[in-house]
Amino acid sequence: MPKPIAGFSKLSKQEKIDWIVSNYIQHPDRGKEIITSYWNTDEKLQHLHDEFIENTFTNLYIPLGIAPNFLINDKLLAIPMAIEESSVVAAASKAAKFWLGRGGFKTKVLGTEKVGQVHFIFKGDTDKLNTFFTAISPKLFKATDSLTESMAKRGGGISKIELRDKTEDLANYYQLHCTFETKDAMGANFINSCLEQFASTLKSEALNYSLFSEAERQIEIVMSILSNYVPNCLVKAEVSCPVSELNLSTEITPEEFAQKMVRAVQIAKVEPYRAVTHNKGIMNGIDAVVLATGNDFRAIEAGVHAFASKDGKYSSLTHASVENDVFKFWIELPLALGTVGGLTKLHPMVKLNLELLNNPSAEELMQVIAVAGLAQNFAAVSSLVTTGIQKGHMKMHLMNILNQQGATESEKITVVEHFKTNTITHRSVIDVLTGLRKQS
C-alpha cells in the first residue's frame, strides 16, 4: 500500500517518475519505457509542454486529423480536429463533401457578450442598497481603468454592471452581474481581474456610505468569478437545399429522408434521454476543433449543455424543417472562444492549426466550430435514420480492434477485405482473425 508523499511537486521529473512506477506500476521498467517513449525528442519543445501544467511526467497524444471540403460563407476550409474517437473526422468530412455542392454552410455571429459576477451578502434595506449602487456605479468603472485600457484599444471592455437581487433564492444574497466584450481573447483573466476590483471597490465604498447602518456597511464578498454560461455569446450555422437533392440513401426517397431527419430532431427536442446523446454527437465535432485550437473544451461543454436546458428541459441544440420543398438544418449555441492568449500563442501545433484556418478572429472561429458541430450532427442523424449508426462506426472501429489484437499488416488486409461484405462485431473480428492464424 503506497504511503502519502510530501513535497511531490518539488521532486525532479525523474524522481516523480521513479516514485510513480515504484508505487503504482506492476512492472516498473516497462512503465518507465512507456513514459519516456511519449516524450518529445526535441528537449526545448518537451520543456514547453512540461510547463503547461503541474507535476508533468509525460505526454498523452491525441490524434489530430483534417476534415476537408468545408465551404463556409463561400470560403473553402480544411478543419483540424483533435479527437480519439473513431468515425468523427470521417463523418464530418462526409457531411462537408455533401453540402459542398449545395451551397455549403452559412453562418452568423448573433452576439459576443461574456458574463462575470460578484456574489455578495448584504443584510439590510434593499432600497438603500439600490441607491448605494447607483451612486458608486461610476466608481466601479473608474477603478478598473488600468485593467481595461489595453482591451478598450481593441474595442472591448466592460459593457454593463447590474445589481441583482437574489434574495428570493437565498437569504441576503445579491450579485453584481457584469457583461464584457473581450474581442479575440477568451478573456477569463481579464474578466476575473475586473470582477475582483469591483468587489474591492464595492466593499470599501460601503464602509464609508453614510446612509448605511453599521451592520449594512459590512458587505460580505463571497466570490468574484466569470461564468461559463454565455447565452448572449451566440453563433448560428445552417445548411439548406431542395428536398429533391437529399439523395443520401438508395433505400428511401429524398422526401422520406427529409421527413425522417425532421422527426429525429423533434424526438431529440422532447426526449432528454435522446437529446443528451444527440448533443453529445454535436460536441464530438465541436470539442475536437476547440481542443485543436487551444481553447477550453470543458468551459464550452458546460456552457453549451446549460444552453440546451435554458427552457427548463434538456433539448436538442439542432433544428430541422421542411418548408416549400426546402430542407433546412441549423444550430444555435453559445461559444466563448479566443484566438489570442493562453495556448494559442504557446503551443506550436495550436498555432499551426490556427494558421491552417487562415488565422481567424474569435468570431470567425466561433462560426467554424459551430459548423463542425452541425456537420457532425447531420452525419450522425443521417446514419441513424437510414443504415443505422453501427455500420459506419464499426467500419472505422475495425482497425482499433485489429491493433488491440496485434494483427500484422497482411492479417489486416485480409480481415478488412472479409468485412467489406460481412457485419462487424468485436467477437466476429476476433473469430476471423483467430481462424486466419490457425490456417497459417
Active site residues: 85, 280, 296, 393
Dihedral, CA of residue 23, residue 26, residue 27 and residue 31, to nearest 10: -60
Sheet holding 173-181, edge to edge: 157-165, 173-181, 114-121, 220-227
Cell of 95: 457531411
Contact 400, 424 (CB under 8 A): no
358: Cβ–Cβ under 8 A, 6 or more apart, which residues? 75, 77, 364
Dihedral, CA of residue 50, residue 52, residue 53 and residue 55, to nearest 10: 10
Question: Nearest CA to 370 among 340, 329, 416?
Answer: 329
345: Cβ–Cβ under 8 A, 6 or more apart, which residues? 351
Q: How many CA atoms lie within 13 A of 162 on its CB side?
A: 10
179: Cβ–Cβ under 8 A, 6 or more apart, which residues? 113, 114, 115, 158, 159, 160, 232
Question: Nearest CA to 109 among 40, 184, 37?
Answer: 184
Neighbours of 154 (CB within 10 A): 13
Neighbours of 271 (CB within 10 A): 15
Neighbours of 272 (CB within 10 A): 16
- How far is the CA of 61 from the CAs of 49, 65, 396, 398, in angstroms? 12, 12, 19, 21
Q: Distance (Å, rounded) from C-alpha 138 to C-alpha 125? A: 22
Q: Distance (Å, rounded) from C-alpha 254 to C-alpha 243? A: 6
Q: DSSP assignment of 163-221, as one string?
A: EEE-TTTSTTEEEEEEEEE-TTB--HHHHHHHHHHHHHHHHHHHHT-TTS-TTTT--EE
SS3 (DSSP) at 328? strand
Question: Nearest CA to 73 among 183, 238, 205?
Answer: 238
